[in-house]
């Protein structure tokens, strides 16, 4: 007991006591015990301070204007922690973004209130990407400045929309436009011009208006770029128009460069053959020659089912077909020594000479009247005009142009014929063409029965 009292400790029933200590010793021992108790209490409480993890909204919708870096979030970025106001445990130290491809970062503006801000790491471009979606989490400060034993909030989805800026002007798809119209028509649409805009939003990328900047032109343009004429155009008055057209997007930004539009006026289309001349010069002995090598048929865009063409040369005209026939009929009769008392079998039609009235005629040189025969018509000459029988001396003068024969033919082409009116229709004399020969048939008077003489003469 003496040794224990000297040590300042009295044990009673297994318990220690400070009663036997001196006053200074008691004070020191009590203070030491109290400090130790406080230290043990604080250590026990500190291990239980960061009980809660931060809380944020489950989703956010943000808007950022391209070429800026601040994102406007709805709702605002705020993290709450139930451990507040305990230092560190109740404070927000960071917002972390999951998704390295997202060009954004979140910064803490006030750790105590949990307020944060979402920013772009660089300038965003709406034309490259219009929307972004990523995950964000809030972190508290844990047990101290280093963030040890910190807690994370749940993951929230952030959807960012990039607002467009009207930075691009409209640009026409073509450097110039061309069209053709037919004179005398009003068109609902001659052609359509089109401009595009590289901005990403409908407000700035769509073209809302076109305008013709050239003044005093007979053309108009609508909101879709369709150009029409406001009046009928004339090929004789003006064959080509050039107008300038500009465009505006829906943000009222005008195209930097206008586009030229060329409109050609064509004459009214007339169906028919084109590319041929009425006059054809031919030199004898030069062989064959194409009459119309450049001729073409203009159909004016209409469907073609059948082409029937007739080509008639001026040489088929009896009186003017050959430029070497330089003499009229009367001149030829004079040159050939024809008798002045000859009988004209084909006179001009009159009251006394009406047998040529129904014949087809062509006008010849010096007003000569020339008759055309095609094998289907003939002139019946009255009996009093020609003799019934020819004498030993007679002359038949003809001026005849005969076309080429299509091969050997059996039929005869009669120029002049005197025959019986009844019974056997026997020919007394006849001048005709047979194949390539000119033949004259002459039968003597029927009273000369026993006389044999030549009856046909061939040339």
DSSP secondary structure, 101-170, as one string? TS-EEEEEEETTTTEEEEEESS---TTT-SEEEEEEEEEE-TTSTT-TT--B---EEEEEEEEP------
Distances (CA, A) of 310 to 218, 273, 275, 313, 431: 43, 12, 16, 10, 33
User: Which range in 4-13, 39-48, 341-350 is most confidently predicted, on average pLDDT?
Assistant: 341-350
pLDDT score, position 31: 40
Closest among 210, 239, 242, 245 to 224, alpha carbons compared: 210
pLDDT score, position 408: 62
| CB burial of residue 166 (10 Å; 0-12, 13-18, 19+) | middle
Q: Quick check: helix, strand or coil at residue 219?
A: strand
Residue 153: which pLDDT band, with cuts at 50, 70 and 90?
Answer: very high
DSSP 8-state class, residue 366: G
pLDDT score, position 197: 95
pLDDT score, position 318: 52
| Structure confidence by residue, pLDDT tens digits, 275-292 | 888 888 877 778 888 888
| Structure confidence by residue, pLDDT tens digits, 340-359 | 777 888 888 888 889 988 88
**Averaged pLDDT, 211-222:** 96
Residue 303: which pLDDT band, with cuts at 50, 70 and 90?
Answer: confident
pLDDT score, position 385: 86
Distances (CA, A) of 36 to 16, 21, 39, 42, 43: 17, 20, 5, 10, 11
Q: Quick check: helix, strand or coil at residue 71?
A: coil
**Averaged pLDDT, 380-390:** 81
| Structure confidence by residue, pLDDT tens digits, 234-259 | 998 999 999 999 999 999 999 999 99
- When mean pLDDT is compared across 76-85, 220-229, 294-303, 382-391, the lowest value belongs to 382-391
Nearest-angstrom CA–CA distance, 193 and 226: 7
* Domains annotated on the chain, with CATH: 2-46 (no CATH), 59-163 (2.60.40.60), 171-266 (2.60.40.60), 360-459 (no CATH)
Count the Cβ atoms, other than its own, within 10 Å of residue 315. 14
pLDDT score, position 43: 43
pLDDT over 60 at 7, yes or no: no
Residues of the chain with pLDDT > 70: what percent? 78
Check if the beta carbon of residue 218 is closer than 8 Å to that of residue 240.
no
pLDDT score, position 368: 64
């Amino acid at each position: 007991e003496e040794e224990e009292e000297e040590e300042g400790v009295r044990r009673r029933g297994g318990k220690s006591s400070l009663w036997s200590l001196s006053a200074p010793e008691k004070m020191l021992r009590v203070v030491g015990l109290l400090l130790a108790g406080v230290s043990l209490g604080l250590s026990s409480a500190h291990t239980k301070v960061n009980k809660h993890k931060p809380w944020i909204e489950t989703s956010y919708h943000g808007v950022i204007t391209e070429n800026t870096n601040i994102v406007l979030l709805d709702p605002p970025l705020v993290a709450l922690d139930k451990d507040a106001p305990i230092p560190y445990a109740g404070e927000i130290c960071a917002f972390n973004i999951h998704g390295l491809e997202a060009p954004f970062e979140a910064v803490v503006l006030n750790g105590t209130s949990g307020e944060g801000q979402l920013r772009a790491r660089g300038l965003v471009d709406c034309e490259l990407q219009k929307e972004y979606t990523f995950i964000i989490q809030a972190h508290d400060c844990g047990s101290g400045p280093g963030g040890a034993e910190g807690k994370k909030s749940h993951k929230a989805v952030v959807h960012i929309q990039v607002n467009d800026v009207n930075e691009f002007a409209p640009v026409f798809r073509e450097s110039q436009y061309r069209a053709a119209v037919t004179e005398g028509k009003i068109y609902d649409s001659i052609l359509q011009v089109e401009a595009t805009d590289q901005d990403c939003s409908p407000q700035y990328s769509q073209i809302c208006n076109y305008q013709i900047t050239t003044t005093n032109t007979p053309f108009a343009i609508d909101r879709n770029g369709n150009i029409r004429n406001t009046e009928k155009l004339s090929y004789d008055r003006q064959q080509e128009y050039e107008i300038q057209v500009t465009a505006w997007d829906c943000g009222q930004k005008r195209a930097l460069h206008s586009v030229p539009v060329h409109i050609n006026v064509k004459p009214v289309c007339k169906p028919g053959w084109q590319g041929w001349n009425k006059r054809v010069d031919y030199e004898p002995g030069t062989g064959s020659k194409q009459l119309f090598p450049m001729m073409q048929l203009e159909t004016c865009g209409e469907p073609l089912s059948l082409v029937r063409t007739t080509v008639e040369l001026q040489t088929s005209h009896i009186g003017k077909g050959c430029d070497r026939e330089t003499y009229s009929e009367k001149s030829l009769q004079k040159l050939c020594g024809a008798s002045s008392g000859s009988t004209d079998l084909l006179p001009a039609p009159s009251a006394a000479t009406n047998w040529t009235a129904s014949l087809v005629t062509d006008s010849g040189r010096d007003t000569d009247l020339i008759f055309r025969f095609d094998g289907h018509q003939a002139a019946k000459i009255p009996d009093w005009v020609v003799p019934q029988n020819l004498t030993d001396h007679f002359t038949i003068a003809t001026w005849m142009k005969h076309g080429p024969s299509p091969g050997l033919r059996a039929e005869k082409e009669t120029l002049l014929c005197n025959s019986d009116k009844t019974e056997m229709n026997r020919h007394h004399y006849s001048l005709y063409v047979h194949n390539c020969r000119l033949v004259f048939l002459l039968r003597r008077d029927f009273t000369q029965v026993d006389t044999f003489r030549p009856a046909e003469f061939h040339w």
